[in-house]
Chains A and B, each alone.
Chain A
């Protein structure tokens, strides 16, 4: 019986643990190993130590240096543009849906949430048609002359529009759930003290949903760093590589034309991972400290 009790947890944890080891842990460790090698996926990797990192970070003559820094710059730009919007808009929607006079809350929530379920490639196809110069609404109805996918700042705009369209729902659900969990007494007390809606939002709602806010902020940022589908499908990294994000360079190197350059791609991926880790940790630290 005692033996059985010991085995029980293993059965519950086991499947996940195996999947985690096979599909996350081993690839991660191997990816880090690959980043120290020169490897074309076909022949054996050749150990080159820190060469890849040295090239990417310091050899300003190298193509990989140019690609990494341009990719990182574009990725950071995407994060800076998208993350605030992906926090503020869902928060505003969630708060607005709390108003007594809003009807059909469930339906509205569903409508906003559904785009998040559609695959990015399908969604990108639809949006690229909307912004298509010949067929799209942007030119035929609104009379825009620009070719959106190949002109800045429009190229970034369509990427951000698609991202927000698809990303608002997820965070909104979290905010709605946590706002529902805030004690009604607090709002009543606020009413008695004569607090207006704005005051109540900043003094009651926001502090009460601190943890969901930190969580969504960190997760949305990490997700935004991994952006790939939107620029690939909408702009193909253009115009002039101004929307080529780091993930696109990484994929091009590892699985693009000709022999794979998997070692360099892995090194870039590891560096991207480090950036995400550092920024997430910083966010968590700063927000948590301020919250206390």
Chain B
């Protein structure tokens, strides 16, 4: 009896030991990690499937990885199971390059003559350039944009706001006292990004000589300008779901992301269009954007052949990423955005002319993530006047400085 029990137990024991050492790597497969946990992951799957259907020597295996950046840290530390290719966000590039975690794209660029700066949206390409070396190839730009409810604009005679592509805060304020109860001019979706856009509109920046600049007159002005809208009672109330209120047809403008267009389109009876995020000044408009970038993380085991395979995949994406437009994103490849099919997508508005393309602003300051975090945490309260402006800005500045002091490890 004892013997009978001991054997299965020993097997379980063994299985645990063996499985924990399992990595399942394949020499002819490009392991491709992405943080695309939402609907966009399915569109990426489709793209990868399309590529694999061309029977390439190196097939791509797409793995949607939740908490990808944490997992990347783990595999990079051990050096085992590092993916061959990954999609990272623009704001990760400076930090990763500084820590030597990204491999150069030099050989791929040499092998694929069409993967070059001129064939991509300039800012998407540039986020991957550090000191003249290219570390990433862009897939898209995803941006903060402003959707508008066509029916409500007509109802309140506000269609003229859209004439010059800049909806100004003054224009919005002109609707004060004219709205029905329960209707609002704008919601507070992605309000932190709206603030970051105003900093550009007002001619400021989030850094001065490499030092974070949060507690600045420009930042204060950016908040004060947006606060005017809230103070006039034109912004959806604090804490309420502004995204939902836009979809319910109670809000004229919604400042959410390019990727929301698919969700808005699924709402029956919502007659909407898209334009630039509102601005504090009629002279300039900015849409705070980020970019999904293909990158190769440092991995000694990646063979030259595999790297060539990755090059082929990236070239395929450059030519065929129209599928990605379905996810609502602004595709980075010029070949795609200049095709007639792309024009049918709502987000083609943002690449319709040079000025529009310029409005998509990607922050590339090394410590940008800490600044965005601080702004996101406090923006809703600052805009509603729930907290003291000067005190909070000072607190934010201190938080960013403290985090920079700790986060950039002294090991280098």
Residues of A near any B CB (own CB < 8 A): 4, 8, 11-12, 14-15, 18-19, 22, 38-46, 61-64, 66, 132-135, 147, 149-151, 238-241, 252, 255-261, 263-264
Q: Given known contacts A43-B411, A44-B411, A239-B239, is B12 in contact with A38 (CB within 8 Å)?
A: no
B9 within 8 A of A: yes
B379 to chain A, nearest CB (A): 12
Asked if B17 and A18 make an inter-chain contact with CB atoms under 8 angstroms apart, the answer reads yes
Asked if A18 and B399 make an inter-chain contact with CB atoms under 8 angstroms apart, the answer reads no
Q: Which residues of B contact A239 (CB under 8 A)?
A: 239, 381, 386
Docked CA distance A124–B378 (Å): 23
Asked if B67 and A255 make an inter-chain contact with CB atoms under 8 angstroms apart, the answer reads yes
Docked CA distance A176–B77 (Å): 49
A21 to chain B, nearest CB (A): 12
* Interface 9-residue window, one of B106-114, B129-137, B240-248, B318-326: B240-248
Asked if B12 and A15 make an inter-chain contact with CB atoms under 8 angstroms apart, the answer reads yes
Can you list 21 A-B pairs, Cβ within 8 angstroms, ordered by A? Answer: A11-B9, A40-B99, A41-B77, A43-B409, A44-B409, A44-B411, A45-B411, A134-B240, A134-B244, A147-B238, A147-B240, A150-B239, A238-B239, A240-B387, A255-B67, A257-B370, A258-B95, A258-B367, A258-B369, A259-B95, A260-B70
Q: Which residue of B lies closest to A61 (CB)?
A: B398
B262 within 8 A of A: no
Kindly supply a per-residue 1/0 record for chain B positions 384-412, scoring 1 wherever the CB is within 8 Å of any chain A CB and 0 otherwise. Answer: 00110000000100110011001111111
Docked CA distance A8–B408 (Å): 51
Asked if A64 and B402 make an inter-chain contact with CB atoms under 8 angstroms apart, the answer reads yes
B263 within 8 A of A: no
Q: Which residues of B contact A132 (CB under 8 A)?
A: 241
* Of the residues B13, B69, B237, B407, contact of A15 by C-beta under 8 Å: B13
A38 to chain B, nearest CB (A): 6
| B interface size (C-beta, 8 A) | 50
Asked if A255 and B372 make an inter-chain contact with CB atoms under 8 angstroms apart, the answer reads no
Q: Which residues of B contact A45 (CB under 8 A)?
A: 409, 411
B53 within 8 A of A: no
Given A40-B99, A134-B240, A151-B239, 10 extra CB contacts under 8 A: A11-B6, A18-B17, A43-B99, A63-B403, A64-B406, A239-B239, A240-B387, A255-B70, A259-B408, A261-B403
B339 within 8 A of A: no
Docked CA distance A258–B245 (Å): 31
Docked CA distance A147–B377 (Å): 18
* Of the residues B6, B13, B99, B399, contact of A42 by C-beta under 8 Å: B99
Q: Which residues of A contact B387 (CB under 8 A)?
A: 240
Docked CA distance A66–B374 (Å): 14
Asked if A147 and B237 make an inter-chain contact with CB atoms under 8 angstroms apart, the answer reads yes
Asked if B6 and A8 make an inter-chain contact with CB atoms under 8 angstroms apart, the answer reads yes
Q: Given known contacts A44-B411, A239-B239, A240-B381, is B399 in contact with A258 (CB within 8 Å)?
A: no
Q: Given known contacts A134-B244, A256-B373, A258-B367, is B409 in contact with A39 (CB within 8 Å)?
A: yes
Asked if B398 and A63 make an inter-chain contact with CB atoms under 8 angstroms apart, the answer reads yes
B353 within 8 A of A: no
Q: Which residue of A lies closest to B401 (CB)?
A: A63
Chain A contact residues: helix, strand, loop or mixed: loop
Q: Given known contacts A15-B16, A46-B411, is B372 in contact with A257 (CB within 8 Å)?
A: yes
Docked CA distance A172–B10 (Å): 38
Docked CA distance A243–B58 (Å): 50
Q: Which residue of A lies closest to B70 (CB)?
A: A255
Asked if A150 and B238 make an inter-chain contact with CB atoms under 8 angstroms apart, the answer reads yes
Docked CA distance A151–B370 (Å): 26
Docked CA distance A42–B82 (Å): 13
Asked if B241 and A134 make an inter-chain contact with CB atoms under 8 angstroms apart, the answer reads yes
* Of the residues A44, A240, A257, A260, contact of B373 by C-beta under 8 Å: A257
A270 to chain B, nearest CB (A): 16
Asked if A42 and B406 make an inter-chain contact with CB atoms under 8 angstroms apart, the answer reads no
Asked if B411 and A133 make an inter-chain contact with CB atoms under 8 angstroms apart, the answer reads no
Q: Which residues of B contact A135 (CB under 8 A)?
A: 244
B307 to chain A, nearest CB (A): 22
A41 to chain B, nearest CB (A): 4
Q: Which residue of B lies closest to A151 (CB)?
A: B239
Docked CA distance A178–B410 (Å): 56
Asked if B239 and A41 make an inter-chain contact with CB atoms under 8 angstroms apart, the answer reads no
Docked CA distance A12–B197 (Å): 61
B76 within 8 A of A: yes
Asked if A258 and B370 make an inter-chain contact with CB atoms under 8 angstroms apart, the answer reads yes
B101 within 8 A of A: yes
Asked if B248 and A134 make an inter-chain contact with CB atoms under 8 angstroms apart, the answer reads yes
B234 to chain A, nearest CB (A): 18
Q: Which residues of A contact B10 (CB under 8 A)?
A: 11
Asked if A263 and B406 make an inter-chain contact with CB atoms under 8 angstroms apart, the answer reads yes
Asked if B403 and A258 make an inter-chain contact with CB atoms under 8 angstroms apart, the answer reads yes
Asked if A133 and B240 make an inter-chain contact with CB atoms under 8 angstroms apart, the answer reads yes
B245 to chain A, nearest CB (A): 7
| CB proximity to A under 8 Å, residues B29-59 | none
A140 to chain B, nearest CB (A): 14
The 5 closest A-B pairs by CB, nearest first: A150-B239, A258-B369, A259-B407, A147-B239, A257-B369
